[in-house]
Amino acid sequence: MTPDMNSLNRDNIVDYLASIFRDRGSEEYLGEPVTIGQHMLQGATIAERNGQPEEIIVGALLHDIGHFTSAFGTFTMEDTEDRHHEDAGAEILDRFFPAVIADCCRYHVAAKRYLCATRPEYFARLSAASVHSLNLQGGPMQPDEVAAFEENPHLRQIIAVRYLDEAGKDPELSTPGFGHFAPMVQRMVDRHAEMLG
């Protein structure tokens, strides 16, 4: 589903993202008890219910979009190498969203590594699939990596989305569909375009 990047613009990016949720959102999510679409919608729903700002809600909604835009396809429990879905997602989001939202995608894997290194209790929250991917992604950060990661100006938002990532795996949690969040997503796109002038 990798699009022709030249065909995406401010006016159709939200429709493109909606099509991913519609056409591929029902795919299995790494052996978790929810689909990939449910996972992302749950993160956004939890953020909205907790009164988080729109940048966190949209960041949670789109943090795993790279599973669908990566040329390497989605992750499986049989993988022996990381597919770097965070980079694939950020590549698309960079063009259309404020940096904080792209960073929530780009660094949500690094945030898992960071939290496992700095908050020992965090590791206990991880599902089996998340532990497997952690091992492929380099394991907990080393002290020099921690220090560098803490320099990110969006650290607070990235960590917030990471916690939402772990929370969005509840087979009992119902959510609205992508359309509920689409106006919010468009506002973020418009904000970015206005910032660019």
Instruction: Tell me if 10 sits within 8 A of 147, measured CB to CB.
Output: no
Instruction: Provide the domain count of the chain.
Output: 1
Instruction: Please give the model's pTM, rounded to 2 decimal places.
Output: 0.89
Q: Which residue's entry shows tokens 């040329």?
A: 71
Instruction: Tell me the pLDDT tens digit for each residue of 75-124.
Output: 454 554 445 678 889 999 999 999 999 999 999 999 999 999 999 899 98
**Which CATH number belongs to the domain containing residue 78 in this structure?**
1.10.3210.10
Instruction: Tell me the pLDDT tens digit for each residue of 174-188.
Output: 999 999 999 999 999
Instruction: Tell me the pLDDT tens digit for each residue of 17-58.
Output: 999 999 988 988 777 899 999 999 999 999 999 999 999 999
What is the span of the domain harbouring residue 91?
5-196
